[in-house]
Amino acid sequence: MRFGSFVFPVSKNPSEDHRVIDETLREIVACDRAGFHAVWLTEHHFDGVTAYADPVVFAAAVSQNTKRVKIGFAVLEMALHHPVRLAAQISLLDNLSNGRIIVGTGKGSSFNEYEYMGFGVKMDEARNMLLEAESLLVSAWSGEPVNFSGEFWNLSFPAMRPRPFQSPHPPIVRACISVDSMKEMASIGRPVLIGSTKNSDIEQRLNQFRGLLKLSGKPSREIESILNQSWVSKCLVVAESESQAKYIAESGFNQEQDHASQSRKLYNPNGHSSSVRDNFKDSFIYGTPDKVTDSIKELEDIGVRNLMLKLNTGGMDADAVQNSIKLFSKNVMPRFQ
């Protein structure tokens, strides 16, 4: 099993943004040194739910402060990006990182309408924009002149420079919630990102995706390759005692949920907040190294091959996060190599 860090730092106050961003970069450097396979950056705007807000700019800093770790997006809110500008930015990032970029796409938040409003985008158009933007990204990275005609973009431009470092382009994965989205990914042979849910639901969705890949006519070797690139996410705290780990995890979880809920009530039109609070038990892996190992073995047994771990939930103490990374990398990761 391979492990990644899901980098999702909450900053509760604008005065804390600089400190949180600095601590987040140090967290990523620690993951690189500890042997994590990937770090995954996310995107949210205006509310401090993601302190660095712009994962593309932040990825440039990550690329220059790390050596081995893959740099993924989980995910880029595609409706908020012009796809040609994004294609050029990712091509540059792929060169700066010597081919370490993974492009995770998604339509954007299902609950934060104010993010779309801030970029002048209609929330109900986001899904169709995602499909068109993905197609335009691939065209831009083809190394050929592009003439593109779609619902949202009609463009012509010479071959893009620089080309991506990876050939033909960085891997593309998509966050999939609906069955329809998984069908799309299966039909074009792309990996998926699965959010934190009950283990039984994760098993069901992995089996469902495997079945869809088979129905699409993909050969067994290609199916295994796609599954080897698909990721599941959970939150993680490792500590010297189970009680300490549970306290850190529950505190962070409640702070993050409260902060997100308050932001939606404050910024969404008419205070609209339709989201349902996540379930702590389903979201978190926590405890001593031995207990955490047992929890991850359960995921391995149901077919999880790549585990994306949110190491800082809700603005946890930086020392506790660093300690969790240390305990996990020394006492848990070696058991899965």
Ranges of each domain in the chain: 2-336
Distance CA 143, CA 72 (A): 22
Residue 223's H or E segment, with its range, is helix 220-227
Structure tokens at 76: 């880029």
Pairing label, strands 231-238, 154-157: unpaired
Separation between Cα atoms, residue 84 and residue 220, nearest integer Å: 34
pTM attached to this predicted model: 0.96
Task: Tell whether domain 2-336 is in CATH 1.10.10.60.
Answer: no
Residue in this structure with the two tokens 């402060």, named with its chain if needed: 65
Distance CA 50, CA 92 (A): 23
pLDDT of residue 55: 98
Q: For residue 93, what is the enclosing H or E element?
A: helix 83-96
pLDDT tens series, the chain, 337 aa: 999 999 999 999 999 999 999 999 999 999 999 999 999 999 999 999 999 999 999 999 999 999 999 999 999 999 999 999 999 999 999 999 999 999 999 988 989 999 999 999 999 999 899 999 999 999 999 999 999 999 999 999 999 999 999 999 999 999 998 888 899 999 999 999 998 789 999 999 999 999 999 999 999 999 999 999 999 999 999 999 999 999 999 999 999 999 999 999 999 998 776 555 679 999 999 999 999 999 999 999 999 999 999 999 999 999 999 999 999 999 999 999 8
Structure token pair of residue 305: 């091959």
Strands 101-106 and 172-175: parallel
Contact call for residues 74 and 104 (beta carbons, < 8 A): yes
Cα separation, 4 vs 40, whole angstroms: 7
- Specify the residue for token string 């039984």: 200
Q: Strands, E, within the chain: which ranges?
A: 2-7, 38-41, 70-73, 76-77, 101-106, 146-149, 154-157, 172-175, 192-194, 231-238, 284-287, 306-310
Please calculate the CA angle 247-248-253 and round it to the nearest 5 degrees.
100
| Residue closest to 190 by CA, chosen among 170, 172, 208 | 172
Residue 197 CA: distances (Å) to CA of 77, 136, 218: 21, 32, 27
Confidence (pLDDT) at 273: 65
pLDDT at 119: 97
Task: Report the chain's C-alpha Rg in angstroms.
Answer: 19
